[in-house]
Structure 1
């Protein structure tokens, strides 16, 4: 899936969404609640995400990792009257609680993260919601945001929609995002391609940046 437009690395930023133990590790909250199959797809993309990070580092493209963090005493969530998507499935997760191993980045992400990379702590699905991400992107003159990570139909999708609303160009290498639901993953990629950005693959992204 080649990109029709060539990309200037000076305009580009890379976002790695929620590649954390709670979402991706078999011993994390999601894996324990739903079984190993629930984290199979997120784990499969780890080498591809690392390749994208390596590409960004080689081309001096700034990298942001998001880290979802939840508070046990979050009264704003407790005030909700409509059950959450997890509660409707009869599941209560202690997902990515502040200060826990569950909330930490995967060891594979820690191994490739460099001092120049940023970590954006977020408390809701979108990486833009009440965080400093937009300000940091503007300060680094980022116009094109390459989005990778998990979960395609929730946190990745929410982030991409917010990026589009802020007039960033969005590029998604398809083999670098993952979901526990294949149908939701495919539907979200189709929606991104239709409305919010461009879906490509790692080879297409590399060609667009290297030329």
Structure 2
């Protein structure tokens, strides 16, 4: 079993929400390194790839529904490079943390995961809260700064500093985070 899991957080996004205009340019900046990291994780047997996405209040939504809605949204160009393959682990969440009201902690325990690499959006929200929840579960946390997108640049920077200082997170790059 792999001891590292790459968590792709909230990348199936239709960009039809109030903060979308602020988020979109930052997602555009990270989509290439993020997609390259996803491709690398897909090919490595020593890494588990797990998508965790907000269900946007639709508790009947299947992963395919979320992917389709994102591809039919305002910025399919930001979604296409990271669309999950068939059969990939795909969990839904209901709030900011990937752990909250999702089976993620149980899955990571079954996979014997020791280290999580958090990528996706939003740095100062879902990435930060997921990092804290991983930390309190005694998981090592890695956040590639070029594979997470923020809404507010100051808050995004502060979130990375908080994860590094308060949670011992390794802040790296997408190219180096898997070693």
TM above 0.5, one fold? yes
RMSD of equivalent CA atoms: 2.5
Contact conserved, 2:4 with 2:117, CA < 8 A, in 1?
yes
Detail structure 1 runs of 4+ shifted over 3 Å in the superposition.
33-38, 102-105
Contact conserved, 1:68 with 1:103, CA < 8 A, in 2?
no
1:15 paired residue number: 7
1:2-41 matched pairs, under 5 angstroms: 10-22=2-14, 28-30=15-17, 33-34=18-19, 36-41=21-26
Structure with max Cα Rg: 1
Matches of 1:156 and 1:127 in 2, distance apart?
Answer: 8
1:130 paired residue number: 101
The alpha-carbon deviation at position 116 of structure 1 amounts to 4.3
Task: Report whether the alignment pairs 1:48 with 2:16.
Answer: no
Matches of 2:128 and 2:5 in 1, distance apart?
Answer: 17
2:118 paired residue number: 147
Change (3 A) 1:167 1:21: same
The alpha-carbon deviation at position 102 of structure 1 amounts to 4.8
1:23-102 matched pairs, under 5 angstroms: 28-30=15-17, 33-34=18-19, 36-60=21-45, 61-71=47-57, 101-102=69-70
Change (3 A) 1:142 1:103: farther
The alpha-carbon deviation at position 139 of structure 1 amounts to 1.0
The alpha-carbon deviation at position 198 of structure 1 amounts to 1.0
1:107 paired residue number: 80
Contact conserved, 2:38 with 2:82, CA < 8 A, in 1?
no
Other structure's SS at 1:124 match? coil
Task: Report whether the alignment pairs 1:195 with 2:163.
Answer: no
Contact conserved, 1:69 with 1:103, CA < 8 A, in 2?
no
Contact conserved, 2:37 with 2:175, CA < 8 A, in 1?
no
Matches of 1:15 and 1:72 in 2, distance apart?
Answer: 21
The alpha-carbon deviation at position 149 of structure 1 amounts to 0.5
Give 5+ residue unaligned stretches, structure 1.
1-8, 23-27, 74-97
Aligned length: 166
Matches of 2:110 and 2:88 in 1, distance apart?
Answer: 14
Matches of 2:124 and 2:2 in 1, distance apart?
Answer: 29
Change (3 A) 1:103 1:138: farther
